Amino acid sequence: MARWRILVSVAVATLTAAAMGATASPAAAAPTGSDDFGAPTTNVVGGTRAAQGEFPFMVRLSMGCGGALYSSKLVLTAAHCVNGTGTNTSITATLGVVDLNSSSKITVKSNYVYRAPGYNGNGKDWALIRLASPVTTLATLPIATNSTYDTGTFTIAGWGAATEGGGQQRYMLKASVPFVSDSTCNSSAMYGGEVIPTDEICAGYAAGGTDTCQGDSGGPMFRTGANGALVQVGIVSWGDGCARRNKPGVYTQVSYFSSAIASAAASLGG
């Protein structure tokens, strides 16, 4: 069964308790988005630690998801990370740091959420979160508006679990993953037709070992575009476990939804 890549609170509790020298249990689960993180590992699903300022558009969301700064006041994330469209002041976005414990982090509350119309858990996995105040000191991440950049080698980054079923990481980590064609990803050896070719794009290694994981949902998958600038091609959506053999990550194909995303962004004030 494919699973979303949103971090569950029990996983956060496990990491927090380990840092405190305690034994975690589901009853003692810490709220998702807690700032009390343990010491980081040196790699997460085949990745390495990102440098401060390397990906300034990266956003950590308090419900246990990632996102990318689409504009100074909008964060692009996954539909499965939010409950629906409407006023929402409960989400905290953390920006501007690779270390979630850094005293220089920027935190901003949400004031509205827009979830993709018609989202029912099968494709259309994108959403926009409007921030209560704009963040003007950080670079945004442009989205792909056509399929030109939907192949090649992509970068993934986030604060998700280091291992399948693990907890959120204190430091942002990054990795590179190759494009996997729709036909290969939907083959019987991989997802057997579960992937929606129009809505989704796959990336990863047949041998496994490098992947996004729980807690990375909603984060961007990106690559170099025109003039050397980065462009977002995917949104972390789902996968069967993490970094398993013949189970690449499945991402929302941003180029397919670019017009709808731009229209929604305009309706939210940019």
Return the active site residues.
Answer: 80, 125, 217
Q: 104-129 burial, b for 16+ CB within 10 Å, e for fewer?
A: eeeebebbbbbbbeebeeebbbbbbb
Beta-carbon neighbour count of residue 43 at 10 Å? Answer: 13
Q: How far apart are CA 38 and CA 17, in angstroms?
A: 8
Q: What is the dihedral of CA 127, 144, 68, 152, to 10 degrees?
A: 120
Q: Which of 262, 245, 188, 249 is nearest to 213 (CA)?
A: 249
The CA-CA-CA angle for residues 106, 225, 151, to 5°, reads: 110
Q: Who's near 181: CB < 8 A, 6+ residues apart? A: 202
Q: 3-41: buried (b, 16+ CB within 10 Å) or exposed (e) per residue?
A: ebbbbbbbbbbbbbbeeeeeebeeeebbebbbeebbebe
Q: Are strands 230-239 and 65-71 parallel, antiparallel or unpaired?
A: unpaired
- d(C-alpha 151, C-alpha 135), whole Å: 31
What six digits make up the tokens of 120?
């029912």
